[in-house]
């Protein structure tokens, strides 16, 4: 599974990076985000693309796991 | 749950649409309940960065928007001091967005409010805005990025909200070095506390819902995601309804309040705003909200807009009801060239060409 780090990126790049990662590896991806806005946007995108999204909070970041 | 998901963003849009018309009822210029560009321009004039006598006032709406976002982000723990993502490019993009907005006579929010009042000139602005977003999205897909931001020391994020409190003190104290218009749009305003309250409420709501005028079209083009677009449509529909109720609605191109009929330059002005805002990651309203949440890059962008307003009026770039100026047209073309250069060099276009 691809792992991407979107920390510090401004809108809409976390979602764009997620989109590209899932196009490359449709199986799923692990996306690290560092703010609520990016978390909501990435989760919304992942779900609308037909994946499940599970979120874990770790230190200052969220790790979103997108799976088929 | 009201504020969650699609209902939340539609409610935010509806609320803003109605509040904007109420602000006009209480004294703001017509179709200008809110205008981020115009209001920053008025503040720029009030502190003497330009001497256009008809557009000088410290707009409490701006202060309210920043502080509303600031207070709510502290409560919901979303406040975070961040910065360092291409600050100077953002500063200049702030200037560019302001020059485009003052060519059209309004930020994207006022563009919707003008449409909501029946001003069809804003339709050409809207088409230009979408065209600009389209170009911006093209570069996003080519890897455009202003690079990441970093955590800053805590105080960094507090400076901008604190400055806004200072600005409010200046408004109340009205010392001789602050300019207040005696005629023109700058002299028309709702009472201070009503303006401030409207700003606080809308600022908090926009912080909560991430409302962004440019984000709606951008996300539709990029991801077929209509979330933010619903907020945009909410503002339009409810401002039309409120304008009809108050009898402000007047459909047509001619004699619209604080607007001109030069279609091509309405189009190009808003194209610059749309394109520039995509590169910045959000419309002028969103920049204000983010700067309230501790984002120093957005605060720098707002400063760029403040300086841009000074330049626009000092150099005779800003349009008026009489139409666009030659200087303004030249400036908008320079802005387009600048946007093309920064978009190309901050994306993968050239690096891919070399390969």
> Is the pLDDT assigned to residue B83 strictly greater than 90?
yes
Q: Per the CB < 8 Å rule, is A8 touching B148?
A: yes
Per-residue pLDDT tens digits for B134-167: 999 999 999 999 999 999 999 999 999 999 999 9
**Given this model, what pLDDT does residue B1 score?**
46
Residue A60 has pLDDT above 90, yes or no: no
Which residue in B has a C-alpha nearest to residue A6's C-alpha?
A: B148
pLDDT of residue A54: 96
Per the structure, the complete domain to which residue B145 belongs is given by: 5-354
Chain A interface mutation, best of B148, B212, B230, highest count of A Cβ atoms under 10 Å = B148
Give A59's pLDDT tier (boundaries 50, 70, 90). Answer: confident
Chain B neighbors of A36, CB-CB under 8 A:
78
pLDDT of B2 over the 90 cut: no
Provide the mean pLDDT of chain B.
Answer: 97
Per-residue pLDDT for B291 more than 80? yes
A11 given a catalytic annotation: yes
pLDDT, residue B112, reads 98
Whether B3 shows a pLDDT value over 90: the answer reads no
Of the candidates A10, A44, A45, the beta carbon closest to that of B85 is on A10
A7-15: average pLDDT: 95
Give the start-to-end residue ranges of the domains of chain A: 2-67
List the catalytic residue out of A1, A7, A11, A55.
Answer: A11
Span B157-196, pLDDT tens digits: 999 999 999 999 999 999 999 999 999 999 999 999 999 9
In CATH, the architecture of A2-67 is: 2-Layer Sandwich (3.30)
Q: What is the pLDDT of residue B309?
A: 98
Q: For residue range B106-133, what is the model confidence (pLDDT) as tens digits?
A: 999 999 999 999 999 999 999 999 999 9
3-state SS of chain B is: CCCCHHHHHHHHHHHHHHHHHHHHHCCCCCCCCCCHHHHHHHHHHHCCCCCCCCCCCCCHHHHHHHHHHHHHHHHCCCCCCEECCCHHHHHHHHHHHHHHHHHHCCCHHHHHHHHHCCECHHHHHHHHHHHHHHHHHHHHHCCCCCCCCEECCHHHHHHHHHHHHHHHHHHHHCCCCCCCCCCCHHHCCCCHHHHHHHHHHHHHHHHHHCCCHHHHHHHHHHHCCCHHHHHHHHHHHHHHHHHHHHCCCCCECCCCCCCCCCHHHHHHHHHHHHHHHHHHCCCHHHHHHHHHCCEHHHHHHHHHHHHHHHHHHHCCCCCECCECCHHHHHHHHHHHHHHHHHHHHCCCHHHHHHC
A1: pLDDT confidence band, cut at 50, 70 and 90? confident
pLDDT on residue B115:
98
Total count of domains within chain B: 1
């Amino acid at each position: 599974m691809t792992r991407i780090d979107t920390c510090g990126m401004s809108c809409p790049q976390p979602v764009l990076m997620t989109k590209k990662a899932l196009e490359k590896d449709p199986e799923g991806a692990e996306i690290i985000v560092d703010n609520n806005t990016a978390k909501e946007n990435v989760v919304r995108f992942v779900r609308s693309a037909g994946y499940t999204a599970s979120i874990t909070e770790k230190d200052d970041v969220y790790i979103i796991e997108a799976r088929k | 749950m009201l504020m969650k998901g699609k209902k939340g963003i539609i409610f935010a849009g509806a609320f803003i649409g109605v509040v904007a018309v109420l602000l006009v009822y209480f004294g703001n210029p017509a179709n200008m309940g809110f205008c981020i560009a115009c209001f920053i321009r008025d503040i720029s004039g009030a502190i003497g960065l330009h001497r256009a006598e008809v557009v000088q006032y410290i707009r409490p709406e701006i202060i309210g928007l920043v502080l509303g976002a600031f207070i709510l982000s502290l409560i919901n723990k979303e406040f975070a001091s961040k910065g360092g993502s291409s600050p100077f490019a953002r500063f200049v993009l702030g200037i560019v967005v302001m020059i485009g907005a003052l060519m059209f006579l309004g930020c994207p929010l006022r563009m919707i409010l003008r449409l909501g009042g029946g001003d069809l000139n804003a339709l050409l602005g809207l088409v230009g805005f979408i065209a600009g977003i389209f170009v911006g999205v093209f570069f996003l897909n080519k890897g455009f990025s202003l690079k990441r931001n970093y955590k800053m020391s805590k105080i960094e994020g507090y400076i901008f909200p604190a400055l806004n409190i200072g600005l409010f003190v200046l408004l109340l104290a009205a010392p001789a070095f602050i300019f207040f218009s005696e005629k023109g749009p700058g002299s028309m305003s709702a009472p201070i506390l009503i303006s401030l309250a409207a700003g606080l409420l809308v600022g908090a709501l926009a912080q909560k819902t991430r409302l962004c005028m440019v984000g709606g079209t951008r996300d539709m083009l990029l991801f077929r995601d209509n979330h933010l677009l619903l907020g945009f449509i909410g503002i339009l529909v409810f401002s039309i309804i409120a304008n009809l109720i108050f009898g402000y609605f007047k459909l047509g191109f001619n004699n619209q309040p604080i607007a001109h009929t030069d279609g091509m330059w309405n189009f190009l002005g808003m194209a610059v705003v749309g394109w520039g805002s995509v590169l910045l990651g959000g419309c002028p309203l969103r920049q204000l909200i983010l700067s309230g949440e501790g984002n120093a890059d957005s605060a720098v962008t707002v400063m760029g807009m403040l300086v841009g307003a000074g330049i626009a009026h000092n150099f005779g770039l800003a349009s008026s009801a009489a139409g666009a100026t030659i200087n303004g047209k030249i400036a908008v073309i320079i802005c387009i060239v600048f946007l093309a250069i920064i978009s190309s060099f901050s994306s993968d276009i050239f690096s891919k060409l070399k390969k």
